[in-house]
Amino acid sequence: MRRRISAYGLTFSLPLLIWQLLFFVFPLVFLIALSFWTVRNFRMQPDFDTVNWTTMYGRAIFWQAYGTTLALATAAAALTSVLAFPCAYAIAFKLPNGARRWAIMLMVIPFFTSYLVRIYSWQVFLSDAGIINVMLGWIGLGPYGLLNTMGATLLGYVTLALPLVVLLQLFSLIFLDRTLIEAAHNMRCGRLRTVFAVVIPSARVGLVIAALFAFILSFGDFVSPIYLGGGDPTTLSILITDTTKSGQQWPRAAVIALTMIVTLMVVAFLSVRFAYRGRK
Amino acid sequence: MTQAPLVSFEGVAKRFGSYIAVQKMDLKIWQGEFLAIMGSSGCGKTTTLRMLAGLEAPSEGVIRLAGKPINDLPSWARDTPMVWQSLALFPFLSVIENVEFALKMRGVGRAERRRRAEQWLDRMQIGEFADRDISQLSGGQRQRVALARSLVVEPQILLLDEPLSALDAALKVRMQSVLKTLQRETGITFVYVTHSQSEAFSMADRVVIMSRGKIEQIGTPQDIYRAPRTRFVADFLGASNIFSGKVARDPQGRTVIATDSGQFALPGNVGVSGQPASLTVLDTRMQIHDQPPGGARNSVAARMVGEEFVGATATIYFETEAGQELRVQKSHEDLAGLPLSIGQPFHLSWAMEDGHLVQE
């Protein structure tokens, strides 16, 4: 169906349009141009040279970082979704209306505190002389190296994404048609089986979008891999900062950034397509 | 009907907090009958059905299915398939997958359940839509999918919660005959909840009329229509003229009802003298006369106040001296020869047997 753009609609969307142009489209175009510039004597100069692309794509560290980032973000999206679902399910179906409002309120509270602060507080828990190791020491265990591990990085990602994922899942579950659940029970589908046979397929769009947000947040995150993961293994976000610091290589950092943007776009496109598969 | 009932409600009540949805109810449903539960919204008809399906737990009493108490049986352990008002078809499954669902849950093998689902889709004349999405079907087609989905397990009983209310009038009538035929052919007990008198009376073998959580009357459509047992039923059906008054004895010792519009004789020795009661007379059973009728018929003088023509019949409205409104339905042939005009005085009469005493 073709729709004509009305002047009325345009007036209201204009500020957003200008914002997107100024702060997304123009920088993106600039980033693309920048990736073809060259650096001589620590100074950037406009150019059209593919050397940055060939250099970055020729480095093993780039592909290692790419693989690590992709794997960690995927793991974070899966882990966060699995952890969030029982919570969102319980809030949506088991709580009375009043308690549900409070639960939603509690889910918003983490956003009051800066993410950086929350990650620092994890350091207090996880370090060798931190709270967890001290408590384990009381019963004669440890100390374990909890900080500067991939597990700690994942923990950071989950900290970042969990409240948002719970909220997104919650909203798709609240609006689920409850007669579908009754109908499933009515056809001899037990409680747990109904969750997998009816609830998850019905809420699929919301669940996939929630996981996608967890992926996007984790994929580009710099704080967790550096402060909880100790920068090892290197993620793409860490690689970008390293590249800019070593010899003013902003054009090569642009190559990494553009690769990340394209990856996110592909993942987002595939996820949305999967979410809406079979829907008209 | 000498065998045991398929379903029995024994003193079943349902409360939601302080709200009483269903008051202590006793009801027997027989194998193979088409039972309609009818009433206006909030009368407890849907709650009754949902208790039978295990979607609500009774606060009191026992529900038995085939003799066994099922109160503690969760809904997924009962064989009481239901058709919802919203149909509750799964939008993420195709038509045939929807029909196969219940069989899959019972562990029926892939080939067998496909075969049985196809059989039911064909029977419901929607075989060609098997692989479509639910969203691609029309309202009537979805209705048929919902029926196939519930009937594919060949249950003893099928529960229907206002399944036709979303359809347009023509389709509704067609689906009514589909349902009736289906019920007769399969012999499955249908329990059909509706607020529509025409649906209930055209399909059901027996009708249960509920009001405010209570059963007002149970009977065949003809019995209820001819002789409503309570004032509520008579009002609800809207087919009868209702006189309010008190039970009394006339000088000959016969039971009469004394109303503002006069005294009318009742058949038999019914009611207790002095008790308030109402008399109902079907609007089709009243005669119109331009002279006072003689004989044993009850009669009342009334002035014509209006008329309404619907197809082959006409409804003429009257008012008595005492302000009582009355209505008479007649064919156009019956009315020929009467000087019908607004304000004209007439006499209305009915045979004693056509009057029914109802409780206030």
The 10s digit of each residue's pLDDT in B319-345 is: 998 889 999 999 888 888 888 889 999
Cα–Cα distance between B357 and B360 in angstroms, integer?
9
Instruction: State the helix-helix crossing angle for A150-174 and A60-93, rounded to 10 degrees.
Output: 40
Show the tokens assigned to A215: 């992926």
Least confident of A32-36, A230-234, B224-228, B269-273: B269-273
* Residue B190 bridge partners (DSSP): B34, B158
- Interface check for A22 against chain B (CB to CB < 8 A): the answer is no
- Respond yes or no on whether the N-terminal peptide bond of residue B267 is cis (omega within 30° of 0): no
The answer to whether the beta carbons of residues B222 and B192 sit under 8 Å apart is: no
Tell me: the pLDDT tens digits for B189-219?
A: 999 999 999 999 999 999 999 999 999 999 9
The answer to whether the beta carbons of residues A212 and A267 sit under 8 Å apart is: yes
Show the tokens assigned to A99: 């308690």
Least confident of A48-57, A218-227, B142-151, B349-358: B349-358
DSSP A169-181: HHHHHHTS-HHHH
Q: Which of B54, B84, B153 faces A183 most closely, judged by CB atoms? A: B84
Mean pLDDT across the stretch A188-196?
A: 95
The answer to whether the beta carbons of residues B300 and B261 sit under 8 Å apart is: yes
Question: Could you tell me which of A177, A260, A109 has the C-alpha nearest to residue B86?
Answer: A177
Show the tokens assigned to A89: 């399910």
- Interface check for A274 against chain B (CB to CB < 8 A): the answer is no
pLDDT at B90 over 90: yes
- Interface check for B120 against chain A (CB to CB < 8 A): the answer is no
Cα–Cα distance between B257 and B134 in angstroms, integer?
59
DSSP class of residue B288 equals E
As a whole number of Å, the end-to-end CA separation of chain A is 14
pLDDT at B2 over 70: no
Tell me: the pLDDT tens digits for A246-259?
A: 878 999 999 999 99
Q: Which of B76, B88, B133 faces A179 most closely, judged by CB atoms? A: B88
Tell me: the pLDDT tens digits for A158-172?
A: 999 999 999 999 999
The answer to whether the beta carbons of residues B60 and B229 sit under 8 Å apart is: no
- Interface check for A177 against chain B (CB to CB < 8 A): the answer is yes
CATH class of B231-359: mainly beta
Q: Which fold has domain A69-275?
A: MetI-like fold (1.10.3720)
Are A186 and B86 inside 8 Å of each other by CB?
no
Instruction: State the helix-helix crossing angle for B95-105 and B139-151, rounded to 10 degrees.
Output: 20
Residue labelled with tokens 């206006």: B40
Mean pLDDT across the stretch B250-274?
A: 81
Are A187 and B136 inside 8 Å of each other by CB?
no
Question: Could you tell me which of B6, B8, B26 has the C-alpha nearest to residue B66?
Answer: B6
Residue labelled with tokens 């054009």: A251
Are B92 and A189 inside 8 Å of each other by CB?
no
Show the tokens assigned to A262: 């394209």
Mean pLDDT of chain A: 92
What is the phi-psi region of residue B17: left when phi exceeds 0, alpha when psi lies from -120 to 50, beta otherwise? left
3-state class (DSSP) for residue B303: strand
pLDDT at A279 over 60: no
Label the pairing between strands B240-249 and B255-259: antiparallel
Residue B65 CB partners (closer than 8 Å, separation 6+):
B6, B7, B52, B78, B80, B157
Cα–Cα distance between B25 and B28 in angstroms, integer?
10
ipTM, two decimals, is 0.82
Give the confidence band of A280 by pLDDT, cuts at 50, 70, 90: very low
Label the pairing between strands B34-38 and B189-194: parallel
Show the tokens assigned to B297: 């018929």
Residue labelled with tokens 């089986």: A193
DSSP B177-234: HHHHHHHHHH--EEEEEES-HHHHHHH-SEEEEEETTEEEEEE-HHHHHHS-SBHHHH
Percent of chain B surpassing pLDDT 90 = 66
- What number of C-beta contacts closer than 8 Å exist between A and B? 66
Spell out the domain ranges in chain B: 32-57+73-226, 231-359
Phi, psi of A255 (to 5 degrees): -60, -45
Q: Considering only residues A145 and A5, tell me which one the structure prediction assigns the higher pLDDT.
A: A145
pLDDT at B270 over 90: no
Mean pLDDT across the stretch A200-215?
A: 96
Collect all residues of chain A within an 8 Å Cβ-Cβ radius of residue B161.
none
Least confident of A152-156, B108-112, B152-156, B251-255: B251-255
Mean pLDDT across the stretch A194-210?
A: 95
Phi, psi of B337 (to 5 degrees): 95, -10
DSSP class of residue B345 equals E
HEC profile for B239-264?
A: CEEEEEEEEEECCCCCEEEEECCEEE
Are A186 and B91 inside 8 Å of each other by CB?
no
Instruction: State the helix-helix crossing angle for A115-126 and A131-138, rounded to 10 degrees.
Output: 30
Q: B103-106: long-range contacts (C-beta < 8 A, 24 or more apart)?
A: B103/B152, B103/B153, B105/A187, B105/A188, B105/A189, B105/A193, B106/A188, B106/B153
Instruction: State the helix-helix crossing angle for A150-174 and A97-108, rounded to 10 degrees.
Output: 140
Show the tokens assigned to A273: 């397509």
Show the tokens assigned to A226: 């550096």
Are A186 and B81 inside 8 Å of each other by CB?
yes
Q: How many CA atoms lie within 13 A of A1 on its CB side?
A: 2
CATH architecture, domain defined by B32-57+73-226: 3-Layer(aba) Sandwich (3.40)
CA-CA-CA-CA torsion for A96, A102, A107, A113, nearest 10 degrees?
A: -170
Are A177 and B82 inside 8 Å of each other by CB?
no
Cα–Cα distance between A67 and B321 in angstroms, integer?
96
Cα–Cα distance between B228 and B355 in angstroms, integer?
10
3-state class (DSSP) for residue B19: strand
Tell me: the pLDDT tens digits for A136-164?
A: 999 988 788 999 999 999 999 999 999 99
- Interface check for A2 against chain B (CB to CB < 8 A): the answer is no
Give the confidence band of A3 by pLDDT, cuts at 50, 70, 90: low
Q: How far is residue B67 from each of residues B4, B6, B29, B48, B283, measured CA to CA in Å?
A: 8, 7, 12, 18, 43
Least confident of A42-46, B10-14, B266-270, B336-340: B266-270
pLDDT on residue A28 = 94
Tell me: the pLDDT tens digits for A60-97?
A: 999 999 999 999 999 999 999 999 999 999 999 999 98
pLDDT on residue B68 = 94
Tell me: the pLDDT tens digits for B278-324?
A: 888 998 899 999 888 877 789 999 999 998 887 888 999 999 988 89
pLDDT on residue A1 = 46
Cα–Cα distance between A258 and A34 in angstroms, integer?
10
Percent of chain A surpassing pLDDT 70 = 97
Are B105 and A189 inside 8 Å of each other by CB?
yes
